[in-house]
Structure 1
Amino acid sequence: MDIPHQRLVYFQVTIEAGSVRQAAARLDIAPSAVSRQLTLIEAALGAPLLERSRNGVVPTAVGEMLLEYCRKRSALDDTFSEELDAYQRLETGHLSLTVGEGFVGDLIDTPLRNFTECYRGVRLDVDTGSTSEIIDAVVEDEAHIGLMYHERVHPRLRFWHSSRQPLVALMSPTHCLANEQNALSLPILSEHPLALWRTGHGVRQLVDDGFREAGLRHQVSMQTNSLSVLKHAVRSELTLTLLPAFAAARELEDGLLVARNVDCERFRQAQAHIITRVGRRMPRAGLQLLRHLERWMRAFNSRTEAGINASRS
């Protein structure tokens, strides 16, 4: 059934008013215009819609069905308007993020908690993944936003925001290198066992590239796909690891770990990125979340580096 909405309005007002003349008065148009529209509806349906009674016009059986349809359609229109209004006020919606595991603590500790308090009706889905999985999720529209470390060029990625976050050496406060005041050299680090991400992870690729360019081999005593395993291994004094400082911000603040800069230009230039897909129209809640992450995450401001320097004292 393809009947213009305004034509259905004329029909519904006629039933509610009780006559074509009164309907015309309510609509502020000529009675002949109302009659013409009703005739067009009857022609489309192949059945009469109105019959006269002592109290005016009343709907026929087909008219009753059409009236019920009009009321349901009107209710759907009202519901849609209310939902759209709530969505535009950021009271409802759904956002998905795929992030590197190192971002999780930084993401949830303050930014997401504050965001969800402000926008309680917006549902957030947060998944973790490798750099390749993050890129795939964003490019294939499985995630609105991605957070990744160590840039990988892709023609369909928009780098919404990037921040320099050097790769640093993380270790127990009792590790033999913990009191070193100068940046640690790669030759020194090559003499110590390392716990690292598995091959294929963005951070692991950065570490491997740095040592290879220096003509050195690192001692990998442990590799894992878990950030928790890396940090526990370091805290237990079994080894040290190489991560951006924001990935262990809580442990650094609590004094459970210390961070030392590394004398490697590739490590110093590493960046954290907020990415979206080129051309994707972001919902209003998504734009608010992007700005929220830029403002509040350690990974995207300078406080992390300040924290590293403070950990030296």
Structure 2
Amino acid sequence: MISSSYRYFLAISEDLSIRKAAERVHISPSALSRQVMLLEAEYGQPLLIRKANGVELTAAGDILLRHIHSLLRQEHALKGDLADLGNLQSGHVRVACGNGFATSLANLILPEFYELHPGVTYTVIVAPGDEVMRSIIEDQADIGLTFNPPSHPAIEVIGSFKAPLLAVMSPHATCRKLNEGVSLEDLAKLPLALPRFNHGIRRLVSQVEMAEGLRLRPAMESNSYEVLTSFIVNRRGVSLFPYFSVAQEVKEKKLNALPLTHAMFQSTTAAIVVRRGRHSSLAATEFLKHLKQQIRALEDTGRD
């Protein structure tokens, strides 16, 4: 177990604010500052640069933070190894995923694994793609699910799956002309709901717009898939998702998913990522196998 002072320093490094970190760990800012001063006295180096709007880690602070992350990895590996002695009677799996994975993960993937291994518990972090990558790099999650991930030396792609974007709309909004495929010109004529600009789907839309010299003007933008799907169900608009993001709704016939005709929308991928070289517990290893099988099954269903 790492010391309380290390956990406090970790909280400060995440918030870059002593006041915010103090609120999160439930001690006073003055007490948290004293913990940092004790660490600085112990190591003989300043660990933080105090600013008007927060703090910044010094070079020594960065070294200490890497050491704390290393200790956390060892602690997590120890807990995993001890849980493995029970042959998956217990264990904990931490998954970081983009918003588009969350519904299928919660509705289709986790319940089946839970039926097989009811003693395993889970933490699911839903965040933008760059935050998913950071969670994996900093060992805050065992497994990451993300859309079109950038390459990174600390990241290993365990599974990559075709995830073509589809035009998703209410079944009531579907007309016979669109069933053969939805073009950019079609999208320009429909009420369009899109993720915000920091999302991988929106970045791809921007690339397609530049390539074709056409500007799509969304009727609504949101960082919530629930809000986007509610909009297209109730307003009979359209949004762009890979199949796994709306598999449950399509299965229940709440939404219809139609192919997009532009080639760039058909070449996108989803990936399962882990930190390169990390020690995985039995629970995480088995869940990873299950995850790959289930996403492959969703991929196959989306092509049917």
- Structure 1-normalised TM-score? 0.67
Contact 1:183 1:262 in 2 (8 A): yes
**1:211-264 deviation digits (Å, cap 9, x = unpaired):** 221111001110011111110100113521011122111221222211111111
Task: State the secondary structure of the residue aligned to 2:130.
Answer: helix
- 1:163-200 per-residue CA deviation (whole Å, 9 max, x = no partner) reads 10110101112226465232221122123231111110
Partners of 1:153 and 1:231 lie apart in 2 by: 30
Given that residues 243 and 299 in structure 2 are in contact (C-alpha distance below 8 angstroms), is that contact kept between their aligned partners in structure 1?
no
Partner of 1:123: 121
Partner amino acid, structure 2, of 1:256: K
Distance 1:236 1:161, change over 3 A: same
Q: Closer, same or farther in 2 for the Cα pair 1:190/1:305, shift >3 Å?
A: same
For 2:216 and 2:97, the matched residues in 1 are separated by 27
Aligned to 1:282: 280
Equivalence for 1:196:
194
Q: 1:244-263 alignment to 2 at 5 Å?
A: 244-263=242-261
Tell me how far 1:300 sits from its aligned partner: 5.6
Structure 1 contact 166–270 (Cα < 8 Å) conserved: yes
Aligned match of 1:93 in 83, 86, 91?
Answer: 91
**Counterparts in 2 of 1:1-313, with a 5 A limit?**
84=82, 87=85, 89-175=87-173, 177=175, 179-297=177-295, 301-306=299-304
Match for residue 4 of structure 1?
none
Residues 14-45 of structure 1, C-alpha deviations (whole Å, 9 max, x = no match): xxxxxxxxxxxxxxxxxxxxxxxxxxxxxxxx
Q: Are the aligned partners of 1:99 and 1:129 in contact in 2 as well (CA < 8 Å)?
A: yes
Distance 1:111 1:283, change over 3 A: same
Partner amino acid for 1:142?
Answer: Q
Q: CA deviation at 1:105?
A: 2.2
Q: Which has the larger radius of gyration?
A: 1
Residues 1:235 and 1:89: Cα distance change in structure 2 (over 3 Å) = same
Aligned residues: 225
Name 1:68's counterpart in structure 2.
none
Q: CA deviation at 1:110?
A: 3.2
Q: Which amino acid aligns with 1:272?
A: A
**Corresponding position of 1:6:** none
**CA distance in 1 between partners of 2:83 and 2:265 (Å):** 47
Say if 1:272 and 1:300, in contact at 8 Å, map to a contact too: no
- SS in structure 1 opposite 2:85? helix
User: 3-state SS of the aligned residue for 1:142?
Assistant: coil
Structure 1: distance between partners of 2:228 and 2:143: 26
Q: Give the whole-Å Cα distance in 2 for the aligned partners of 1:285 and 1:257.
A: 34
**Could you say if the C-alpha distance between residues 156 and 105 of structure 1 is closer, same or farther in structure 2, counting changes exceeding 3 Å?**
same
Give yes or no for contact 1:165–1:305 (8 Å, CA) kept in 2.
no
Asked if 1 retains the 8 angstrom alpha-carbon contact of 2:132 and 2:144, the reply is yes
Distance 1:123 1:150, change over 3 A: same
Deviation (angstroms), 1:148: 0.8
Structure 1 residues 179 and 273: alpha-carbon distance in aligned structure 2, compared to 1, 3 A threshold: same
CA distance in 2, matches of 1:174, 1:123: 40
Structural RMSD (CA): 2.1
In 2, the alpha carbon distance for the partners of 1:259 and 1:86 equals 41
**CA deviation after TM superposition for structure 1 residue 85, in Å:** 7.0
Extract structure 1 runs of 4+ deviating beyond 6 A. Answer: none
Gaps of 5+ in 1: 1-79, 307-313
Q: For residues 131-150 of structure 1, what are the alpha-carbon distances to aligned partners after superposition, in whole Å with 9 as ceiling and x for unaligned?
A: 01101101111000001112
Contact 1:150 1:206 in 2 (8 A): no
Deviation larger for 98-107 or 169-178: 169-178
Kept after mapping to 1: 8 A contact 2:94/2:124:
yes
Say which SS state the counterpart of residue 219 (structure 2) adopts. Answer: strand
1:104 is matched by which residue type in structure 2?
A: A
TM-score, scaled to structure 2? 0.69
